[in-house]
Amino acid sequence: MKIARFNEGRVGVVVDDQHLVDISDLAGMDTHQWPPVGPTSLIARFAELRPRIEQALGDLPRIALASVKLQTPVPWPNKVIAYPVNYHDHGREMQANYRATHQGFFLKPNSSLSGAGEPVVLPNVPTREVHHESELAIVIGKEARGIRREDWKDYVFGYACLLDMVVRGREERVFRKAYDSFCPVGPWITTADEVGDPTNLEMELWVNGESKQHANTRDLVLDIPGMVEMAAAVMTLYPGDIIATGTPAGVGPVRAGDKVRIRIERVGEMTVDVVQGTQGATAVFETPYTPDIVKQK
């Protein structure tokens, strides 16, 4: 099942390539609720709600996907967990002497989340480049702490495409990745049963139609079971939590007017526009960044 969020916080199920149906009322969601935890609650209650949803799908009116604005599927997770340098080729190109296996993870703020129908807004930092990073998002489905590696599948709700945008530099990683719109997730969540084995998924990213990143999740340094296990060793995972699995080689700059397209096999595909914003200036980025590395092949 593909769970999408659209048009001011309504939730739907994508039933074919061109249509979805609105299940907001069926799921008892208040789209005006603050904070917007309705999708998080839906994930937590999904086992209970799924039979009712599936039974109702044939009777609910279909809505053209082309007519809706797709938003981030889970706007208010407890946390977004991200693993840095989790492909060897990306580590080599950036000349990083560490990997996610012994570096651990960092957190991105909920306010950085955006959806497939919303643009990446470049901050007003003319001395710096903003780079794209294509990643698989793992969405947690159950509360847990201390998950054993062999049990990881029991706690995964589904998967989505994710872009981890970053202001390039040497300052604190979270600071450079925390801008609003710097974590597009979508176009929807594809439930785990529909994806099957996530450890062998082809992923590709294009900028203006030119392929920039191409990898397979089998090439991850810290694999998906390991990421779930490591995160749950440190903190309690909750329904709706998002794990960003890291990016492969090929990261590069985006500019206003660009279109960034990401596709992950059996998960989904989304294209987001890049626009220039007027906010975001900070003294931290006043000094131009001159890389002290030469990207390696």
Q: pLDDT by residue (tens digit) across 173-213?
A: 999 999 999 999 999 999 999 999 999 999 999 999 999 99
Please report, rounded to a whole number, the percentage of residues in the chain having pLDDT higher than 70.
Answer: 93
Task: Tell me the mean pLDDT in the region 81-91.
Answer: 78
Looking at residue 215, its pLDDT comes to 95
Statement: residue 293 has pLDDT above 90? no
Task: Tell me the mean pLDDT in the region 97-114.
Answer: 86
Closest by CA position to 132, among listed 29, 250, 266, 45: 250
Looking at residue 98, its pLDDT comes to 55
218: exposed, middle or buried (Cβ count in 10 Å: 0-12, 13-18, 19+): exposed
What does the pLDDT look like over 253-289, one tens digit per residue? 999 999 999 999 999 999 999 999 999 999 999 999 8
Q: pTM for the whole thing?
A: 0.94
Statement: residue 296 has pLDDT above 50? no
Average pLDDT of the residues of the chain? 93
The ranges assigned to domains in the chain are 2-68, 71-279
Looking at residue 65, its pLDDT comes to 97
> Picking from 74-88, 129-143, 157-171, which range would have the lowest pLDDT averaged per residue?
74-88
CATH of 71-279, one of 3.90.850.10, 1.10.10.10, 3.40.50.12160, 3.40.50.300: 3.90.850.10
Looking at residue 86, its pLDDT comes to 87
Per-residue pLDDT band at 95 (split at 50, 70, 90): low
Looking at residue 290, its pLDDT comes to 74
Per-residue pLDDT band at 30 (split at 50, 70, 90): very high
What does the pLDDT look like over 159-168, one tens digit per residue? 999 999 999 9
Task: Tell me the mean pLDDT in the region 236-242.
Answer: 98
